Amino acid sequence: MALKDLRDLIYPASCLLCRTSGVTLCPSCEATLSSCTESYRVQGRTLYSSLHYNEAASHLILAAKEDNDRAAARYLAELMAMRFSRVHRNFHRSSYLLVPIPSSRAADKRRGYEHMMILAGLVAKRIVTEYEVDCQLLNLLTPIRKVADQSQLTARARQVNIDGAFQLRKGLERRAGKGVGIILIDDLVTTGSTMSEGLRALRMGSIEPDALLSACVAGRFLVNKIGL
């Protein structure tokens, strides 16, 4: 019996949304997801997202982020790796570095794991497998002060709240050399304020990402905040 068959026997797959057995996401639930083919601009860089944010996408992100559901994380990573194909067509680097947006230290401590490191690591593995290019995870950003929970804040309040929250990890910036594609990565982009802060911190260290990548984008906010 193959390892996958044994794993499925012990831990049978079920739909991440409706719990129908035998599939990671059943056709009915998959149909509720809305693929994102548009590109957005954040501080001069192009944002590529896999999904438009809706109730189904929210469930997947929360399962991966708050429940450490690796099936949900793997599903999101697969979609993000597929969206990466557009980045690769545009830049065609021989190697890439994925730089995750960090969560707050308090959130990491509460969860007991670093959600974005897990997700970005899964994305990197999928990229290596699917596109046969070198892709590694680089934990280049670190939070340096407390920020308030942003879920209930306005776009302007988010910007003020997150401004100056990140800095570069000393010594690691040397790995972001010439010819290496750098992609700033997050699970969800709503107003673009967190991505903007990540860009600011990288640029302070003279690092310019080629592109931004996310699992979901909340387009109803972004249309007026950062533009198509």
pLDDT band at 158 (very low <50, low <70, confident <90, very high): confident
Look at residue 129 and tell me whether its pLDDT is greater than 60. yes
For 189-208, the pLDDT digits (tens) are 998 999 999 999 999 988 99
pTM higher than the cut 0.95 = no
Contact 215, 45 (CB under 8 A): no
How large is the average pLDDT for residues 139-167?
A: 82
Look at residue 160 and tell me whether its pLDDT is greater than 50. yes
Neighbours of 60 (CB within 10 A): 25
d(CA 25, CA 177): 39
Contact 69, 103 (CB under 8 A): no
Enumerate the domain spans of the chain. 33-225
Q: In the CATH scheme, what architecture does the domain 33-225 have? A: 3-Layer(aba) Sandwich (3.40)
The SS3 call for residue 65 is helix
CA neighbor of 33 nearest in space, from 68, 87, 86, 76: 76
- pLDDT for position 53: 92
Token readout for 128 is 């290596």
Question: What are residue 213's DSSP bridge partners?
Answer: 48, 185
The secondary structure element, H or E, covering residue 222 is helix 219-225
pLDDT band at 10 (very low <50, low <70, confident <90, very high): very low
